[in-house]
């Protein structure tokens, strides 16, 4: 079924809150602050962003730009640009009139195929507002200049170094093939919020891919080191049945990463998008 704006906004807020409830090592969450930020910061950004994500009268790019501005107005920093970039196409897919006749992944592919020059212009403006030069690390299509190619084509230029861009280039493949399956796995569904589905999705990304945010900030060697730490944690968590012991393992690595200023932010963005996709799919089935 096609979802109305209020259902989409509710699904988005639920995804953001579930991600904050998970003890994601290196990221801000309800168990520990970090990097000079608090969970309340991200909660406020999510509330400000949700109405824009669900604006059915706007294109994907306009939602991204409006949400980015709203987030900055609410918290004064880039709290959720990656989340906004990933969730706007998912929201647009869930509200399409024919959404009930095919699965969400197919609808997302159709949304991406229909993005136009205005979507590219608005998205470039949002990225420049939040983090000047984000896509512009490439020699061409700097986000501080008007785009001369389509949004998906521009994202392909960054797809080898940025997992958010790779979702646009690859039809959200990692969201639907890694994140959503981790969330819906039977052995994670019964775990408490701190170590449940959201943490499973986070570790599924962070243990497989060197985090794009870390790679941009510190280089591939540091990002790969953190990836190995996440892989070790994922194994330890899988072998540990006691929820309190699982939480202690996650918080131990969390403290170590935060001491070093290492924040796997892209893995958290992908986690929110995966939770959002699953929430939308469930709402469509109701």
| DSSP at 31 | T
- For residue range 9-67, what is the model confidence (pLDDT) as tens digits? 999 999 999 999 999 999 999 999 888 889 999 999 999 999 999 999 999 999 999 99
Residue, of 270 and 194, whose pLDDT is higher: 270
Q: What is the SS3 assignment for 113?
A: helix
Same domain, 86 and 211: no
- What's the CA gap between 4 and 211, in Å, rounded? 34
Are 190 and 123 in the same domain?
A: no
Residue 90 has pLDDT above 50, yes or no: yes
Averaged pLDDT, 153-177: 94
Dist. CA 73–CA 94, nearest whole Å: 27
> Is the pTM value of this prediction over 0.85?
yes
| Cα 125–Cα 127–Cα 129 angle in degrees, nearest 5 | 70
Is residue 118 domain-shared with residue 213, that is, in the same domain? no
> For residue 265, is it within any domain?
no
**Does residue 231 sit in the same domain as residue 97?**
no
Give the whole-angstrom CA distance, residue 204 versus residue 207: 6
CA-CA-CA-CA torsion sign (112, 117, 120, 122): negative
Rounded Cα distance between 172 and 4, Å, is 22
> CB 160: neighbour CB atoms within 10 A?
10
Q: Do residues 65 and 207 both lie within one domain?
A: no
264 inside domain: no
Q: What is the pLDDT of residue 230?
A: 98
- Residue 53 near residue 67, CB atoms below 8 Å: yes
Q: Residue 102 — pLDDT band, cuts 50, 70, 90? A: low
Residue 176 domain-assigned? no
Judge if 207 and 106 occupy the same domain: no
What is the percentage of the chain residues whose pLDDT exceeds 90?
Answer: 79
Residue 250 burial (10 A CB sphere; 0-12, 13-18, 19+): buried
Q: Helices 81-94 and 39-53 meet at what angle, rounded to 10? A: 30
For the ranges 82-91, 102-111, 274-283, the lowest mean pLDDT is seen at 102-111
30 plus 147 within the same structural domain: yes
pLDDT reported for residue 286 = 80
Length of the chain: 286
111 lies in the same domain as 212: no
Q: Show the tokens assigned to 256.
A: 């170590």
For residue 214, the enclosing domain spans 181-259
Q: What number of other Cβ atoms are within 10 A of residue 145's Cβ?
A: 11
Asked if residues 179 and 199 have their Cβ atoms less than 8 Å apart, the reply is no
CA distance 269 to 213: 10
Domain check: are 18 and 94 in the same one? Answer: yes
Residue with tokens 């990933």: 86
Are 226 and 254 part of one and the same domain?
Answer: yes
Q: Report if residue 266 sits inside a domain.
A: no
Asked whether residue 254 is assigned to any structural domain, the reply reads: yes
pLDDT at residue 214, as a whole number: 94
Say yes or no: 133 and 89 in one domain: yes
Q: What is the pLDDT of residues 178-220, one digit of tens each?
A: 999 999 998 776 778 789 999 999 999 999 999 999 998 899 9
Question: Is position 100 within any domain?
Answer: yes
Distance of alpha carbon 226 from alpha carbon 90, whole angstroms: 29
Q: Is residue 18 part of a domain?
A: yes
* 219 torsion bin: left (phi>0), alpha (psi -120 to 50), beta (else): left
Domain membership of residue 174 (yes or no) is no
- Please give the Cα distance from 10 to 7 (Å, whole number): 5
My answer on whether 127 and 44 are in the same domain is yes
Number of domains in the chain: 2
């Amino acid at each position: 079924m096609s979802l109305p704006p209020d259902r989409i906004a509710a699904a988005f807020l639920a995804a953001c809150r579930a991600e904050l409830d998970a003890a994601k090592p290196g990221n801000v969450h309800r168990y520990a602050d970090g990097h000079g930020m608090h969970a309340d910061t991200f909660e406020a950004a999510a509330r400000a962003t949700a109405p824009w994500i669900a604006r059915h009268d706007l294109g994907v790019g306009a939602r991204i730009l409006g949400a980015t501005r709203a987030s900055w107005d609410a918290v004064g920093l880039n709290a959720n640009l990656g989340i906004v970039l990933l969730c706007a196409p998912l929201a647009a897919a869930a509200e399409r009139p024919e959404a009930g006749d095919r699965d969400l992944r197919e609808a997302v592919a159709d949304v991406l195929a229909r993005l136009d020059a205005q979507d590219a212009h608005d998205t470039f403006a949002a990225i420049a507002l939040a983090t000047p030069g984000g896509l512009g690390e490439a020699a061409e299509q700097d986000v501080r200049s008007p785009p001369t190619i389509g949004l998906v084509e521009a994202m392909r230029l960054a797809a080898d170094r940025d997992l958010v861009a790779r979702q646009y280039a690859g039809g959200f493949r990692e969201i639907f093939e890694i994140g959503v399956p981790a969330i819906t796995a039977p052995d994670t569904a019964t775990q408490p919020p701190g170590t449940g589905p959201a943490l499973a999705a986070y570790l599924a990304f962070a243990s497989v891919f060197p985090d794009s945010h870390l790679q941009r900030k510190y280089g591939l060697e540091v990002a790969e080191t953190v990836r190995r730490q996440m892989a070790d944690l994922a194994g330890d968590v899988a072998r540990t049945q006691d929820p309190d012991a699982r939480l202690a393992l996650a918080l131990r690595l969390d403290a170590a990463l935060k001491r070093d200023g290492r924040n796997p932010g892209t893995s958290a963005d992908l986690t929110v998008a995966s939770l959002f996709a699953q929430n939308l799919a469930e709402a469509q089935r109701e």
